């Protein structure tokens, strides 16, 4: 029995401005039916800003399976739309990872190859996962401020197309040279701890998922359905500290370094000293401080491989 059993025809929406989107659209349009997914609406979106509206159109038109192709920013936008629709228009998200980092797909164990990802959509299982919100803007992986914002500016589309995943460390080196430390105040509306003031920071991150930044891990135990946000603050420190931290990013054990503060929460309000700062949401500048970050538990249904044992379907909690 395939994923689409009982869901009816699917909609296919691809951001052709993503790194592999233009080439992948015709491949996906052929691969999905070959694996048993009947397609109704198919849309190649050339302007990424309009993609959320296309996803909304598909779901409110009655499609219960919406397959979206693009990078992490594209998928975050689509996820925010689907999670925010009323129950009569509830739809399942199918993922075709076509960006540079593809960290959401990595968290869900979805392969980067279009053919293989199409097979997952057709044969996988439906699970429900958490969604992060930053001032009501959706994010799947990590919201962050500080160095990551400057990296996002340096990671121009041309650089991503030229270098692929290597664009991120190159952009990080360029951004690091001119980064200035900053201060934040963390407040916890749910009252699980006292407000926290942190200074001389390189970066502050708020993780909903498990992976970010092209394969880095938020924390050793972080998950996209654990109903928690992982907050980590990296101090400016010395160059050798950053070299050590960089070596621990893939395992997530950088959060154990003496220059890193790590905590978990369901909600945090972040204010920055000296005025507002921009916030990076899954690789795209999406909002600014002061920012309220919160987790919405089990609000997004998505197709993952049958072998993804760490992901499951639960009752919606929010």
Say how far apart CA 17 and CA 92 lie, in whole Å: 23
Count the neighbouring beta carbons within 10 Å of the beta carbon of residue 294. 21
One-character DSSP codes across the chain? --TTTTT-SEEEEEETTSTTHHHHHHHHHHHHHHTT--EEEEEEESSGGGHHHHHHHHHHTT-SEEEEEE-HHHHHHHHHHHHHS-GGG--EEEEEE-SSS-HHHHHTT--SSHHHHHHHHHH-EEEEEEEEEETTEEESSEEEEEHHHHHHHH--HHHHHHHGGGHHHHHHHHHHTT---EEEEEE-TT-SS--EEEEEEEEEEEESSSEETTTEES-TT--TTSS-EEEEEEE---HHHHHHHHHTTTTTGGGGSTTEEEEEESEEEEEETTS--EEEETTEEEEESSEEEEEEEEEEEEEE-TT-TT--------
d(CA 161, CA 167) in angstroms, rounded, equals 8
Q: In degrees to the nearest 10, what's the CA dihedral of 168, 145, 230, 300?
A: -80
Q: Return the closest-CA partner of residue 94 out of 84, 107, 105.
A: 105
Distances 221 to 133, 251, 257, 310 between C-alpha atoms, Å: 20, 10, 16, 11
The residue from 154, 235, 284, 318 that is catalytic is 284
Catalytic residue at 284? yes
Which residues belong to the active site?
284
């Amino acid at each position: 029995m395939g994923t689409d059993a009982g869901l009816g025809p699917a909609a296919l929406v691809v951001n052709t401005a993503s790194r592999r989107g233009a080439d992948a659209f015709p491949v996906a349009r052929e691969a999905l039916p070959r694996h048993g997914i009947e397609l109704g609406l198919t849309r190649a979106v050339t302007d990424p800003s309009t993609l959320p509206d296309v996803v909304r159109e598909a779901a409110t038109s009655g499609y219960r399976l919406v397959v979206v192709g693009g990078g992490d920013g594209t998928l975050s936008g689509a996820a925010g739309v689907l999670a925010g629709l009323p129950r009569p228009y509830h739809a399942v998200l199918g993922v075709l990872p076509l960006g540079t980092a593809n960290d959401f797909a990595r968290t869900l164990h979805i392969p980067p190859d279009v053919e293989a990802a199409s097979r997952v959509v057709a044969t996988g299982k439906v699970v429900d996962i958490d969604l992060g919100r930053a001032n009501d803007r959706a994010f799947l992986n990590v919201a962050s401020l500080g160095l990551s914002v400057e990296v996002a500016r340096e990671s121009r589309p041309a650089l991503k197309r030229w270098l692929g995943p290597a664009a991120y460390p190159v952009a990080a080196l360029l951004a690091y040279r001119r980064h200035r430390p900053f201060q934040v105040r963390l407040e916890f509306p749910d009252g699980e701890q006292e407000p926290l003031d942190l200074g001389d920071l390189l970066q502050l991150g708020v993780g909903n998922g498990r992976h970010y930044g092209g394969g880095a891990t938020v924390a050793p135990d972080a998950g996209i359905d654990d109903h928690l946000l992982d907050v980590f603050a990296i101090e400016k420190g010395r160059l050798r500290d950053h070299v050590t931290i960089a070596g621990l990013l893939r395992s997530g054990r950088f959060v154990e370094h003496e220059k890193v503060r790590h905590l978990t929460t369901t909600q945090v309000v972040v204010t920055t000293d000296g005025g507002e700062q921009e916030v990076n949401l899954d690789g795209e500048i999406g909002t600014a401080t002061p920012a309220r970050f919160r987790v919405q538990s089990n609000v997004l249904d998505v197709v993952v491989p049958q072998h993804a044992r760490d992901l499951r379907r639960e009752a919606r909690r929010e």
